């Protein structure tokens, strides 16, 4: 057993740390200086399974914040941190009940910073529900889309989505746990929890019950229920404001953001102008009506919530609740049903509206099948032609394994299958930029999906795939802009397991692509034949850093994997060695270096040490490199270790000559990539240089090598860094190859061998 100190680090992302709120700092103060916990330090053999999505009977669970570079050392501490963080709600409740206190959330204080609206400064105060209405309840008769009214912040886009999901308990009850109450004053501590899907996982947000009202009144300033004794909608909006920084940050969002945050689905945005809308839009909407998805629409406008003469409101969000066909004057007429979350008489006034005489020519049976009722409830029908004429944007949220539990359905339709990948673009490692950057595009992460069956009943024998690329949202809290992101698709053989190379991508035609836009997520729906496809997500410009996730939703489950190179080494390629021999024929340096070796070597052992190797190499043409300061002692020690198989600390003549030839080859490779002969080459060319030296490395190993050998200030690779990396790689590859193997081919190390090999490198 060992002892591990648990230390919280807010907003940290490295292994062994976990986020927490300041509330936890106040209420769990005994953890601030670390808490000693007895644990076994060893990790299981399958510890990296923590990186994989968990697909069980509930919603799919996935944590994109676990570093893909997680090591055995970080695993145990990470698991401990998660077990403590997951008990946050219960621990806080018990503490407050014991102290008989009502919670005051220090992370979302009752001041103007949480409001964020300059014109409201000093006009609001905060009150608890019982201070607003003595009969306050969390729910009054359950949640309903008719409960909600918009307040003084422009978040109709959120209102529309909340209104939609409130009609579906399987979605709503997960976001707003229904066991919460304002009634039990013996146990009530003023803590409420709301769940939002954020960047690959469901996050529980805790808020206290203090709500902003207009000063001197009990009138809620923002979202509220029509019944002034019901408070679930106001508390939900407060939790959403908290996770976004303040109430002001809820102004002017999009339905797609709220749809994703409240359902965990993948949202695609379809522009409805004639130039950009799909030719088969009607067929797509009819298909979406049959599938597990939500739809919303809006009219782009510079003015938020501008009322139009036809009854529609520009800069306002609507829900799309149906797409149907009726017979009108002997022909088919397709209709779209929309809902204004404001309710009342804010409805479409044109053809097929509530009072339109066109309904008189539709059969009673068809009207009954539409559940047609004319009420001032904000819901209305309009023709498909008018829909695409007046609305400018359609947003569709497809619901997958993160949205519904196993066995749950949505309006009688089962959830879609889902694959998810997490990744990170790192400068000079795998942030290759878009296809315009031909020399670096291939370095981006690559993910393969294999579609084995078409959609059930699809007449064209095709499979639908909704692919979404999301970057971590840092915009509202940090003030940073979204990067411009997108992805490319390429068809490959089913047995493709290694990265597509630069040469392959220069000649391969794309099977599909998204647009590149500076939004939180880019998503697009594709229809593919059965086969294997590689998704390559990227930023538009190279060397831009961000965390991302890729999600793929399909009717039929697909096989998925991240493409990666195997860790293998071969001899230096023949063409390089031939060039080395040709150079020696010109310079005739091999015979000279042999003579110097004979002069320096110990006459008893016929070997030299690292100090003597340093003298030899610094007297050779190897040191004739721009900006190269010569071979130092540490570098020569590693060179000795790379050929010293018996750990004597010495190099015999045959070993030295092999090392000499390799060193000349590494110099030649370096000069090839140092095009301007500056003594450096760019670190993003490092992987190609390693391949030229005979080393294929995986993404994880390459990541470690870049961080180990790149100059962090110049982001360049020096000759000595490249040489040192190559000789050490030779050592570790040969060490692994020499170990006994399991039946599966995995090397087996005992502690003694592992420690010796680790220190002598």
List, by residue number, the catalytic residues. 156, 316, 340
Q: Hey, how many other C-beta atoms are within 10 angstroms of the C-beta on 143?
A: 27
CB-CB contact of 673 with 690 (8 Å): no
How far, in Å, CA of 57 to CA of 404, rounded? 10
DSSP element (H, E) containing 692: helix 686-692
Helices (H), 395-507: 475-478, 502-507
> 502-524 burial, b if ≥16 CB within 10 A, otherwise e?
beebeeeeebbbbebeebbbbbb
How far, in Å, CA of 643 to CA of 608, rounded? 12
How far, in Å, CA of 453 to CA of 559, rounded? 11
Which token pair is 454? 């078409």
CB-CB contact of 379 with 338 (8 Å): yes
Which token pair is 77? 């501490």
How far, in Å, CA of 373 to CA of 366, rounded? 13
How far, in Å, CA of 738 to CA of 760, rounded? 15
Strand partners, 193: 206
DSSP code of residue 667:
H
Between helix 633-643 and helix 610-618 the angle, nearest 10°, is 110
How far, in Å, CA of 323 to CA of 373, rounded? 16
Quick one: 363 exposed, middle or buried, by C-beta within 10 A (0-12, 13-18, 19+)?
Answer: exposed
Instruction: Tell me, rounded to whole angstroms, the distance of Cα 417 from its chain centroid.
Output: 18
DSSP letters along 716-742, please?
A: EEEHHHHHHHHHHHHHHHHHHHHS-B-
What are φ and ψ of residue 106, in 5° steps?
A: -75, -15
How far, in Å, CA of 539 to CA of 471, rounded? 10
- Which residue, 75, 48, 249, is CA-closest to 154? 249
Q: Which value, in Å, is the radius of gyration of the alpha carbons in the chain?
A: 32
How far, in Å, CA of 309 to CA of 337, rounded? 19
Q: Hey, how many other C-beta atoms are within 10 angstroms of the C-beta on 276?
A: 10
Report the relative pairing of strands 317-328 and 393-398 from DSSP bridges: unpaired
């Amino acid at each position: 057993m060992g002892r591990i100190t648990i230390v919280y680090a807010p907003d940290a992302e490295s292994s062994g740390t976990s986020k927490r709120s300041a509330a936890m700092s106040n209420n769990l103060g005994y953890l601030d200086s670390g808490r000693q916990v007895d644990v076994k330090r060893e990790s299981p053999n399958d510890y990296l399974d923590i990186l994989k999505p968990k697909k069980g009977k509930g919603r799919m669970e996935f944590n994109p914040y676990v570093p893909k570079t997680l090591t055995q050392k970080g695993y145990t501490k990470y698991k401990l941190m998660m077990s403590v963080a997951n008990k946050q709600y219960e621990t806080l409740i018990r503490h407050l009940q014991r102290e008989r206190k009502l919670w005051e959330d220090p992370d979302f204080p009752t001041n103007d910073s949480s409001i964020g609206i300059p014109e409201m400064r000093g006009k609001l105060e905060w009150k608890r529900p019982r201070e607003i209405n003595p009969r306050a309840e969390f729910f009054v008769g359950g949640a309903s889309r008719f409960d909600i009214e918009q307040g003084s912040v422009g978040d109709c886009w959120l209102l529309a989505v909340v209104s939609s999901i409130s009609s579906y308990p399987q979605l709503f009850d997960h976001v707003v746990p229904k066991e919460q109450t304002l009634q039990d004053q013996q146990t009530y501590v003023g803590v409420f929890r709301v769940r939002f899907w954020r960047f690959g996982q469901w996050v529980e947000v805790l808020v206290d019950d203090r709500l902003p009202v207009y000063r001197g009144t009990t009138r809620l300033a923002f979202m509220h229920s029509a019944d002034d004794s019901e408070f679930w909608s106001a508390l939900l909006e407060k939790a959403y404001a908290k996770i976004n920084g303040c109430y002001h940050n809820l102004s002017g969002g999009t339905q797609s953001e709220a749809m994703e945050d409240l359902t965990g689905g993948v949202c695609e945005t379809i522009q409805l102008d004639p130039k950009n809308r799909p030719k088969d839009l009607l067929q797509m909407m009819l298909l979406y009506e049959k599938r597990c998805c939500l739809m919303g629409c809006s009219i782009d406008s510079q003015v938020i919530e501008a009322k139009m003469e036809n009854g529609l409101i520009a800069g306002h969000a609507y829900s799309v609740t149906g797409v149907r066909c009726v017979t009108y004057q002997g022909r088919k007429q397709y209709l779209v049903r929309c809902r204004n979350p404001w309710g009342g008489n804010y409805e479409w006034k044109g053809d097929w509206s509530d009072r339109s005489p066109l309904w008189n020519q539709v059969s009673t049976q068809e009207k009954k099948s539409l559940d047609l009722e004319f009420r001032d409830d904000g819901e209305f029908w309009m023709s498909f032609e008018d829909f695409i004429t007046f609305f400018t944007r359609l947003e569709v949220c497809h619901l997958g394994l993160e949205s519904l539990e196993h066995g749950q359905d949505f309006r009688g339709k089962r959830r879609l299958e889902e694959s998810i990948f997490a990744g990170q673009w790192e400068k000079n490692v795998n942030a290759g930029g878009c296809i315009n950057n031909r020399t670096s595009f291939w370095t981006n992460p690559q993910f393969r999906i294999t579609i084995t069956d078409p959609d059930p009943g699809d007449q064209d024998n095709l499979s639908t795939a909704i692919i979404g690329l999301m970057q971590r949202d840092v915009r509202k809290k940090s003030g940073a802009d979204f990067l411009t992101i997108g992805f490319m698709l390429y068809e490959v053989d089913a047995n493709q397991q290694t990265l597509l190379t630069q040469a392959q991508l220069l000649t391969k035609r794309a099977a599909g692509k998204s647009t590149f836009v500076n939004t939180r997520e880019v998503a697009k729906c594709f229809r593919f034949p059965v086969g294997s496809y590689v998704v390559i997500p990227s930023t538009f410009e190279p060397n831009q850093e961000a965390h991302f996730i890729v999600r793929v939703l399909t009717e039929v489950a697909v096989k998925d994997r991240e493409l990666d190179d195997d860790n293998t080494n071969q001899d230096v390629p023949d063409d390089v060695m031939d060039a080395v021999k040709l150079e020696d024929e010109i310079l005739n340096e091999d015979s000279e270096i042999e003579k110097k070796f004979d002069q320096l070597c110990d006459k008893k052992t016929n070997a030299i040490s690292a100090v003597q190797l340093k003298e030899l190499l610094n007297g050779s043409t190897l040191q004739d490199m721009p900006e190269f300061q010569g071979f130092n002692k540490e570098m020569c020690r590693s060179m000795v270790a790379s050929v010293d198989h018996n750990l004597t600390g010495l190099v015999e003549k045959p070993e030295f000559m092999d090392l000499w030839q390799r060193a000349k080859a590494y110099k030649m490779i370096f000069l090839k990539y140092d095009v301007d002969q500056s003594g450096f080459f760019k670190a993003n060319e490092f992987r190609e240089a390693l391949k030229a030296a005979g080393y294929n490395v995986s993404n994880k190993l390459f990541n470690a090598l870049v961080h180990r050998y790149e100059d962090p200030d110049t982001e360049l690779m020096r000759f000595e860094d490249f040489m040192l990396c190559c000789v050490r790689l030779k050592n570790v590859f040969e060490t692994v190859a020499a170990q006994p193997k399991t039946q599966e081919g995995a090397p087996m190390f005992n502690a003694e061998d592992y420690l010796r090999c680790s220190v002598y490198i």
